[in-house]
């Protein structure tokens, strides 16, 4: 058992080791889907089409059946199964049933969020592909549908076995803009595209999937040339440029590109509908379909909404949500991504306020003057909701002294310390508590209801500050309730130190 644990937690460092490791991961299937499929297989009135339609609600089940069927055919003259019906027919109902018995069947909420989030992106891509391309290429709808759904499947076992590595990649590459090649070499030891291609070939997934990865790895110049043409405003000019480059025109018209385009759209939309990545895939899709960009954008928004209706869960992020709410509000409030770091301009204001707090002798005329400067420093470092509370001499009551980003009634907040064990601990000595998704249930139960109402969300910072050996102030702040930017967390700690020094200097100014 100890050896098994070591194997499962040790990170591979070579492409072959990664493929071998991820190939052994059994993907969990939602219990409800598992039960419905088992029931359908046992019902002789169910057709293969009926069973396949039930299976597609669980991407993990689709992948497992396709892999099993293609593994059985490996070494024979049979081509890999290009769709689920062919795979089930190849396996036969008995072996399909045996495969289902081997797969972990668990309640939906027990499947890790990282896996469910990735699979939802795949389902969104499948909806985009079916909606944008399948009606034009009706004869190939199954290839388009299953290829789109399975394109990101090499990352699914990664989300089970190494979710933190994927999180680090997303944070550094998507949100911090670091080089993907550099980050992947540090985090995985291999390029992610190489790993995805290796797994698609090992699993003998539909050929359009591996063609998409091969294009991204070895022939991105075709995408770049197509993008230059797609940005041309005049359709006639676009056609002339394509006619002048027959190789590019031939490549662009390949139906296999629908799988890559749909996944490009779905993945980029996870970041934003207005980011450069999304705009590039929209331009390429418009060129492929020979439609105006605005029309493609409208269609992709509609297909995102259709996808969200069937796949959205409370703890997952779907880009369709940002079509209803402002991006910078909803994306962070939904609690799935860290808030963006403060801008250079904001940090300049933050440094200026911290410098003012550290001036000796104290430049502040009164406590309100000092705490106003403190509040402005916290807002400048990225905090969206801030409350500074002052303790009375007996440490039995905390009263709001400064408020930012909260309802008007927060100005009059008064907290009875005796009613909260967490407040009692914070007032006993200077300390900091950080609420996260992991400890939120534990700590939020110890918070006064008034604070829970004002600071909704799973992520919160509380820090008590002392002066002359006694706690005098409590800082409460968050970034809208979603995960913090680590830059802001560090600035919060430094601000607290500056405020403590300012309090000491102000209190002892007469001495």
Q: Are 407 and 454 in contact (CB under 8 A)?
A: yes
* pLDDT at res. 4: 34
CA 219 to chain CA centroid, nearest Å: 28
Domain ranges, ordered by start, for the chain? 120-333, 344-507
d(CA 448, CA 421): 9
CA 99 to chain CA centroid, nearest Å: 31
C-beta atoms surrounding 482 within 10 Å: 23
- Beta 414-416 vs 432-435: how paired, if at all? unpaired
Fold (CATH) for 344-507? Beta-Lactamase (3.30.450)
With tokens 């019902």, the residue in question is: 43
* pLDDT at res. 356: 92
Burial 237-252 (b: 16+ CB within 10 A, else e): ebeebbeeeeebeebb
CA 416 to chain CA centroid, nearest Å: 39
d(CA 511, CA 506): 10
Contacts for 251 with CB less than 8 Å, ≥ 6 apart? 222, 257
* pLDDT at res. 277: 87
* pLDDT at res. 320: 85
Among 473, 470, 453, residue whose Cα is nearest residue 462: 473
Taking only Cα atoms into account, the Rg of the chain, rounded to an integer number of angstroms, comes to: 28
Contacts for 201 with CB less than 8 Å, ≥ 6 apart? 210
* pLDDT at res. 337: 63
* pLDDT at res. 260: 96
* pLDDT at res. 73: 59
C-beta atoms surrounding 486 within 10 Å: 12
Q: Are 144 and 255 in contact (CB under 8 A)?
A: yes
Grouped pLDDT means (10 residues each) for the chain, 511 residues = 42 93 93 92 87 89 92 66 87 90 90 90 95 88 92 95 87 78 92 95 93 91 91 89 91 93 93 85 94 92 90 81 56 58 87 91 89 94 94 93 89 90 91 86 83 87 92 94 88 93 85 50
Q: What is the DSSP string of 261-330?
A: HHHHHHHHHHH-SSSHHHHHHHHHHHHHHT--HHHHHHHHHHHHHHHHHHH--TTS--GGGGGTS-HHHH
What predicted TM-score, i.e. pTM, was given to this entire model? 0.65
Q: Are 123 and 149 in contact (CB under 8 A)?
A: yes
- 3-state SS of 168-225 is HHHHHHHHCCCCHHHHHHHHCCCCHHHHHHHHHHHCCCCHHHHHHHHHHHHCHHHHHH
């Amino acid at each position: 058992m100890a050896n098994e644990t070591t194997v499962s937690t040790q990170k591979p460092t070579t492409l072959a080791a990664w493929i071998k490791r991820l190939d052994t991961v059994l993907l969990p299937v939602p219990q409800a889907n598992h039960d419905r499929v088992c029931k359908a297989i046992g019902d002789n009135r169910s057709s293969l089409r009926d069973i396949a339609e039930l299976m597609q609600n669980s991407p993990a089940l689709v992948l497992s059946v396709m892999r099993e069927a293609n593994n059985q055919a490996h070494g024979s003259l049979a081509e890999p199964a290009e769709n689920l019906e062919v795979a089930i027919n190849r396996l036969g109902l008995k072996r399909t049933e045996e495969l289902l018995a081997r797969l972990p069947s668990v309640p939906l909420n027990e499947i890790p969020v990282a896996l469910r989030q990735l699979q939802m992106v795949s389902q969104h891509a499948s909806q985009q592909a079916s909606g944008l391309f399948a009606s034009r290429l009706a004869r190939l709808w199954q290839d388009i549908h299953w290829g789109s759904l399975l394109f990101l499947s090499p990352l699914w076992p990664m989300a089970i076995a190494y979710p933190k590595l994927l999180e680090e990649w997303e944070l550094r590459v998507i949100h911090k803009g670091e080089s993907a090649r550099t980050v992947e070499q540090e985090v995985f030891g291999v390029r992610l595209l190489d790993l995805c291609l290796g797994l698609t070939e090992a699993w003998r997934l539909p050929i359009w999937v591996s063609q998409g990865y091969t294009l991204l790895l070895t022939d991105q110049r075709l995408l770049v040339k197509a993008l230059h043409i797609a940005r041309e405003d005049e359709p006639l000019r676009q056609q002339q440029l394509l006619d002048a480059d027959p190789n590019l025109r031939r490549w662009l018209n390949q139906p296999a590109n629908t799988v890559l385009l749909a996944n490009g759209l779905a993945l980029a939309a996870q970041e934003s509908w207005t980011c450069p990545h999304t705009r590039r895939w929209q331009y390429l899709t418009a060129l492929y379909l020979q439609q105006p960009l605005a029309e493609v954008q409208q269609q992709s928004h509609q297909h995102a909404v259709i996808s969200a209706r069937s796949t959205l869960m409370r703890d997952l992020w779907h880009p369709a949500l940002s079509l209803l709410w402002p991006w910078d509000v909803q994306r962070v409030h939904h609690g799935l991504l860290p808030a963006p770091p403060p801008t250079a301009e904001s940090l300049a204001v933050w440094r200026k306020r911290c410098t003012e707090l550290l001036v000796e002798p104290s430049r502040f005329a009164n406590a309100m003057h000092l705490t106003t400067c403190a509040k402005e420093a916290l807002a400048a470092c990225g905090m969206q909701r801030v409350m500074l509370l002052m303790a009375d001499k007996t440490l039995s009551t905390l009263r709001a002294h400064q408020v930012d980003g909260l309802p008007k009634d927060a100005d009059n907040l008064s907290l009875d310390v005796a009613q909260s064990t967490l407040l009692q601990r914070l007032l006993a000595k200077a300390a900091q508590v950080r609420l996260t998704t992991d400890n939120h249930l534990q700590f939020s139960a110890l918070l006064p209801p008034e604070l829970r109402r004002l600071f909704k969300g799973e992520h919160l910072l509380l820090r008590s500050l002392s002066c002359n050996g006694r706690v005098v102030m409590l800082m409460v702040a968050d970034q809208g309730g979603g995960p913090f930017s680590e830059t802001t967390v560090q600035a919060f700690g430094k601000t607290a130190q500056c405020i403590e020094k300012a309090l000491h200097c102000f209190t002892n100014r007469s001495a």
